[in-house]
């Protein structure tokens, strides 16, 4: 589905250049469950952003279903990203001024007329599934961490993506709530055949995932 070939990412810091990713080769297939681990600053989030088409590499290629995304316009890349990827973050990244339902519907805002399904109905189905339906009109700051993360996952799923990219999704949760969120992601992989890529610091969590990628200093040092 998505393939990175010799991808590097170089940031310019004043006069200096900083290489955040060096020659990364990785393929993410449909339905795969992948855990990325490695110390702080090794490039995990940078890699996730490139896999999710949120950012472009400084060199190397990103192929989406075999097509080089460098040949697409910015607009095409945004629509592609919106269709195929959903993002989940450590800090939930919900909008506090919007209620739960509005947060979940946010990614459909500019696309609702194009969607082949009823976004409102899908939002309610997702809230039912994740046991947050009675919170539809509540605001994020009135919810527990686990509930906020389930809202964020529902938001990531609203456009029926093919892949969920979760960057430390359990980092702000206690271990029990964190395990629940992980179970939910595993269930989405099994039942809905979604590809899941999760970044985690927790070696215990990473053991549950069949495919593990270990990074160090911008490189993949171990992959299985
Ligand atoms: N916009 C940027 N400009 C300059 N340097 C950056 C930028 N974004 C990231 N970096 C640097 O690139 C490196 C990799 O950052 P990245 O966020 O990918 O690390 P990470 O593995 O996700 O770390 P953490 O586990 O702490 O989240 C870091 O050294 C970081 O300082
Ligand atoms: Mg990070």
Is residue 196 in a domain? Answer: yes
Residue 118 lies in a domain: yes
Residue 69 resides in a domain: no
Query: Would residue 30 count as lying in a domain?
Result: yes
In a domain? residue 145: yes
- The answer to whether residue 43 sits within a structural domain is yes
- Is 86 a pocket residue for ligand 1 (Cβ < 6 Å)? no
Give, using CA atoms, the residue closest to atom 18 of ligand 1. 43
Q: Count CB neighbours of 195 within 10 A.
A: 23
DSSP class of 149: H
Residue 35, CB half-sphere, CA atoms under 13 Å: how many? Answer: 22
Q: How far is the CA of 49 from the centre of ligand 2 (A)?
A: 10
Q: Taking ligand 2, which is a single-atom ion, which protein residues have CB atoms under 5 Å away?
A: 45
Backbone angles phi, psi at 5, to 5 degrees: -120, 120
Instruction: Write the residue with the smallest CA distance to atom 17 of ligand 1.
Output: 45
Tell whether the model's pLDDT for residue 61 goes beyond 80.
yes
Q: Does 42 contact ligand 1 (Cβ within 6 A)?
A: yes
Cβ burial, residue 9 (10 Å; 0-12/13-18/19+): buried
**Which domain CATH number covers 202?**
3.40.50.300
Residue 46 β-bridge partners: none
Least confident of 17-26, 67-76, 111-120: 111-120
Least confident among 22-36, 113-127, 141-155: 113-127
Query: What confidence tier does 203 reach under pLDDT thresholds 50, 70, 90?
Result: low
Structurally, how many domains does the chain consist of? Answer: 1
Say yes or no: CB of residue 12 within 6 Å of ligand 1. Answer: no
- Whole-number Å distance between alpha carbons of 188 and 184: 6
Q: How many CA atoms lie within 13 A of 4 on its CB side?
A: 26
Banded pLDDT at 202 (limits 50, 70, 90): confident
**CA atoms within 13 Å, Cβ hemisphere of 109:** 7
Nearest to 92 by CA among 162, 165, 33, 146: 146
Contacts of 49 (CB under 8 A, 6+ apart): 55
Give domain status of residue 121, yes or no: yes
| The residue to which tokens 């310019």 are assigned | 12
> What is the spatial distance between Cα 187 and Cα 121, in angstroms, rounded to a whole number?
21
Q: What is the distance between the alpha carbons of residues 129 and 11, in angstroms, rounded to a whole number?
A: 41
Q: Is the pLDDT of residue 224 over 80?
A: no
Distance from the CA of 29 to the center of ligand 1, in angstroms?
Answer: 25
Which pLDDT band, with edges at 50, 70 and 90, does 25 fall under?
very high
Tell me, what's the pLDDT at 223? 82
> Which tokens go with 58?
């400084």
Q: Which of 143-147, 161-165, 197-201, 203-207 is predicted with the least confidence, judged by mean pLDDT?
A: 203-207
Residue 149 inside a domain? The answer is yes
Ligand 1 and 46: CB distance under 6 A: yes
Domain that residue 48 falls in: 2-64+74-223
């Amino acid at each position: 589905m998505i393939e990175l070939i010799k991808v590097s990412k170089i940031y310019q810091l004043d006069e200096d250049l900083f290489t955040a990713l060096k020659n990364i080769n990785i393929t993410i297939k449909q339905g795969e469950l992948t855990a990325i681990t490695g110390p702080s600053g090794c490039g995990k989030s940078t890699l996730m952003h490139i896999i999710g088409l949120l950012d472009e590499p400084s060199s190397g290629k990103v192929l989406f279903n075999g097509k080089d995304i460098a040949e697409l316009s910015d607009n095409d890349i945004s629509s592609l990203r919106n269709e195929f990827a959903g993002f989940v973050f450590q800090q939930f990244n919900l909008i506090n001024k919007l209620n739960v339902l509005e947060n979940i519907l946010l990614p459909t805002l500019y696309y609702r007329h194009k969607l082949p399904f009823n976004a409102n109905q899908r939002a309610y189905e997702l809230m039912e599934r994740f046991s947050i339906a009675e919170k539809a009109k509540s605001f994020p700051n009135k919810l527990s961490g686990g509930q906020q993360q389930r809202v964020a996952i529902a938001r990531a799923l609203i456009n029926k993506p093919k892949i969920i990219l979760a960057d430390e999704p359990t980092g702000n949760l206690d271990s029990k709530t964190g395990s629940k969120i992980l179970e939910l992601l595993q269930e989405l992989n099994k039942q809905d055949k979604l590809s899941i890529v999760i970044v985690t610091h927790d070696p215990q969590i990473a053991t549950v995932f069949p495919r593990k990628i270990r990074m160090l200093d911008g490189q993949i040092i171990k992959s299985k």
